């Protein structure tokens, strides 16, 4: 164990209630779902500082209305129907802890190879990129995955997200002890909350019936939550604290990587389809390998891309490949 973890701390079961009671909706000109999650429906007059504060210092989750139009979402859903069988050939095509859920991995490259127009309209959406930058300064793609949940698809286990998602990924070996041996308490509580965040695009309407994402607003503000969530008592404490997010087709949900959350159970007779993006800050390490050279080569053959300025091209490519590390034998 790293020495910064040696002082034992206990979970404060009153902390979440006190955090949520401190929220003051009256100071904002937004609607709130369940009186807790702000809903932004006027993107043109967005207040960037308010969004930043709501995300980091208060709620930890925000809904943006109508980021994508419904026709585009239906076009993407059709693309999924035509491509999901090919995606199922991947070794990692099913969720290991969620029955009847299929993953369309490497979504960036798959879209580019088959429908570059769809790639541009979804992945390079100006509103989406602006939200990444409001939260991270400059947001890069750390992962981009299609999530297709069939009727009857199970609810996920409660968790926080990459990079400190101990229950997911071989590296952590489902071991909190390993986490404590390789990180400091300050990294967990002061750095990683600002390292990355999640963006969920509702390609279908999402609600309690078809198992929309369930979140616990304010839970990201609890110190050591990355560790506490693996305690059985704390895990059980959160069971009745979740609220389902209601999203219309084309809405966007963003949430802090340390917010306690889970995917809901699909009780409907229809699939639930979404795209989940992990955005990392400019000097962060993404969760999946982004095939930058493939993306670059395909874009450079596109007429729209070649009409952009040099600065615009650089900014687009920077979304998929951070400036470091560099080959010091070739560059200073």
The tens digit of pLDDT for each residue in 22-74 reads: 999 999 999 999 999 999 999 999 999 999 999 999 999 999 999 999 999 99
Checking if the pLDDT of 79 tops 80, the result is yes
Average pLDDT over residues 211-238: 96
pLDDT of residue 77: 97
pLDDT of residue 95: 66
> Considering the chain, what is the average pLDDT of its residues?
94
pLDDT of residue 92: 74
Give the length of the chain: 332
Checking if the pLDDT of 275 tops 80, the result is yes
Of 291, 287, 268, the C-alpha closest to 278 is 287
Average pLDDT over residues 170-192: 93
Checking if the pLDDT of 96 tops 70, the result is no
pLDDT of residue 185: 97
Average pLDDT over residues 182-189: 96
Structure tokens at 295: 């993306």
Please provide the distance, in angstroms rounded to a whole number, between the alpha carbons at the two ends of the chain: 38
- Domain coordinates in residue numbering, the chain: 3-292
pLDDT, one tens digit per residue, over 299-316 is 999 999 999 999 999 999
pLDDT of residue 98: 65
Of residues 279 and 83, the one with the higher pLDDT is 279
Checking if the pLDDT of 210 tops 80, the result is yes
Of 230, 105, 204, 94, the C-alpha closest to 154 is 94
Least confident residue range of 60-69, 146-155, 249-258, 290-299: 146-155
Average pLDDT over residues 246-270: 97
pLDDT of residue 174: 87
Least confident residue range of 172-176, 197-201, 258-262, 296-300: 172-176
Checking if the pLDDT of 112 tops 70, the result is yes
pLDDT of residue 101: 84
DSSP label at 10? -
Q: Is 232 exposed, middle or buried (0-12, 13-18, 19+ CB in 10 A)?
A: exposed
pLDDT of residue 309: 97
Checking if the pLDDT of 97 tops 70, the result is no
Q: Is residue 279 within 8 Å of residue 212, measured between CB atoms? A: no
The CATH code belonging to domain 3-292 is 2.60.120.620
SS3 233: helix
Determine the Cα–Cα distance for residues 96 and 167; give it in Å rounded to an integer: 11
């Amino acid at each position: 164990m790293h020495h910064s973890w040696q002082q034992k701390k206990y979970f404060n079961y009153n902390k979440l209630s006190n955090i949520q009671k401190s929220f003051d909706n009256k100071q904002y000109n937004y609607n709130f779902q369940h009186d807790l999650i702000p809903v932004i429906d006027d993107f043109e007059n967005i207040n960037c500082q308010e969004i930043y504060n709501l995300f980091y210092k208060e709620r930890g989750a925000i809904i943006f209305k109508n980021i994508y139009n419904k026709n585009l979402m239906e076009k993407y859903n059709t693309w999924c129907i035509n491509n999901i069988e090919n995606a199922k050939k991947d070794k990692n095509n099913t969720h290991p802890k969620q029955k009847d859920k299929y993953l369309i991995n490497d979504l960036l490259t798959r879209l580019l190879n088959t429908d570059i127009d769809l790639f541009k309209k979804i992945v390079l959406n100006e509103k989406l990129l602006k939200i990444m930058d409001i939260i991270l300064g400059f947001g890069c793609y750390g992962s981009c995955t299609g999530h297709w949940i069939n009727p009857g698809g199970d609810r996920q286990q409660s968790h926080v997200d990459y990079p400190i998602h101990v229950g997911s990924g071989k590296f952590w070996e489902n071991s909190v002890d390993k986490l404590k041996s390789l990180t400091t308490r300050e990294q967990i509580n002061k750095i990683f909350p600002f390292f990355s965040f999640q963006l969920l695009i509702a390609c279908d309407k999402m609600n309690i019936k078809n198992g929309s994402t369930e979140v616990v607003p304010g839970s990201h503000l609890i110190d050591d939550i990355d560790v506490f969530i693996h305690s059985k008592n704390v895990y059980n404490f959160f069971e009745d604290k979740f609220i389902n997010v209601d999203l219309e087709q084309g809405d966007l949900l963003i949430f802090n990587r340390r917010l306690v959350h889970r995917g809901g159970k699909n009780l409907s007779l229809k699939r639930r389809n979404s795209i989940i993006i992990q955005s990392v800050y400019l000097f962060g390490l993404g969760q999946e390998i982004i095939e930058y050279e493939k993306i670059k080569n395909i874009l450079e053959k596109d007429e729209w891309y070649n009409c952009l300025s040099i600065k615009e091209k650089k900014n687009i490519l920077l979304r998929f490949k951070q400036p470091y590390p560099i080959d010091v034998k070739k560059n200073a």
